[in-house]
Each structure stands twice: as structure tokens, then as C-alpha cells.
Amino acid sequence: MEISSAMVKELRVKTGTGMMDCKEALKATDGDFEKAIDYLRKKGLSAATKRSSKAAKDGTVASYIHMGGRIGVMVEINCETDFVAKTDDFQKMAKDIAMHIAASNPLYVRSEEIPSDVLEREKEIYRSQLQEEKKPEKIWDKIIEGKLKKYYEEVCLVEQKFIKDTDITIGTLLSNNIAKTGENVVIRRFARFQLGEEINK
């Protein structure tokens, strides 16, 4: 695939990485942006990777109320300094993420937070399905891995496609902000309330 200079430039803006490294990443991943970002992260080249060791202790708590007060969200997003926390860009991103949570209803921020018993239950369901479908056992692990990736995309906030731009994930949105601000940016936690959801029917 031909890698254009526009593609290289776009990846550079998204990751804060040098032009040659961006070009190499795009070539290695056939122009797939999400895979190219992962490629750079694995090599420890992206600005996001370099910033992730910095303590993010400042930030903001953003809220969003949807559907005439039927759904409400609060999300804590941290950065390194009060200066960045108060910028319009940071505040807008926090609001957008709160709105995304209201619409997409994630259960966790990232996959590492999923309890092991929940993961084991998912795997058990997949194994039963594969047994039912009479798939050869030697390919189960590969299929289960693919199904888990899909599961993470459904339930983990940073793996979900951003509702305002489905070409990127919430994780990429964070990386873009890290590249732009030069600070570590972390979604710490969130709470989502839906009117009547805990009331026994």
C-alpha cells in the first residue's frame, strides 16, 4: 500500500512521534491507523508511552445529564497540571467522554479492571459455544482470543469507538490529547446512573 505524506502527518499529530517512525509504522501495518498507533506504543516511541510514567494528579470531574434527567454520568479525568486541566480542549474532551459514557454504557475503564471470575465466565460461554458448533479444539484459543477482543470493545471505555468520531477509540482520543498537551492524561473512574435501573421489576 502507498503511504502518503498526509497519512504520515496525521499519525504524527495523533502520536507526537517522528516522521520516519510514523512512516515505518504505517508501512508495517498496511496503513491501518489503529494498528500503527499500537505498533508505535509497543516500540515505546509514541508520546503517550513516554508520558504514561508521569504522575497525573490534577484534572477535572466532568458530568453529563441526558434524556431529560433519565441518565447521568460523572467521570474523573486526570492530567499533570492545573494549567492543562483548565484549557478549553481538556474540558471539552472530558465533557465528550462523559457524553460517550452516557450513550455507550461501558462497564470498566480498561480491560485490566475486569475481575478474573467475570473473564473466566465469558471464556466458559465461548468454550460451550465452540463445543456446540463442533469446532476443532486446537483452534479454540485463537477464536476465544478474538471473541475476548470484541468483548473488551463492548465493555471497556478506552476500547470503545468514540461516538463523535467512530474512526478512533476513546484510547486514541486520550493519546491525541497527550500528544497535544505533552502531559499524561488518564481516565481514573466513572459512574453512570440510569433512572430506575436498580429497582426490582
The residue type of 31 is G
Residues near 109 by beta carbon (within 8 Å), at least 6 away in sequence: 156, 157, 158, 187, 188, 189, 190
pTM recorded for the entire structure: 0.69
**Is pLDDT of 53 > 80?**
no
pLDDT in tens, 75-97: 999 998 889 999 999 999 999 99
In our burial notation (b when 16+ CB lie closer than 10 A, e otherwise), range 42-57 reads: eeebbbbbebbeeebe
**Is pLDDT of 47 > 60?**
no
The residue range of the domain holding 122 is 115-154
pLDDT in tens, 155-164: 999 999 999 9
**CATH code for position 169:** 3.30.479.20
Question: Could you tell me the three cell numbers for 73?
Answer: 454520568
Looking at the fold, whether 104 and 40 belong to one and the same domain comes out as: no
Looking at the fold, whether 146 and 169 belong to one and the same domain comes out as: no
Looking at the fold, whether 102 and 120 belong to one and the same domain comes out as: no
Residue 184 to residue 15: CA distance in whole angstroms: 13
pLDDT in tens, 118-147: 999 999 999 899 888 888 888 888 999 999
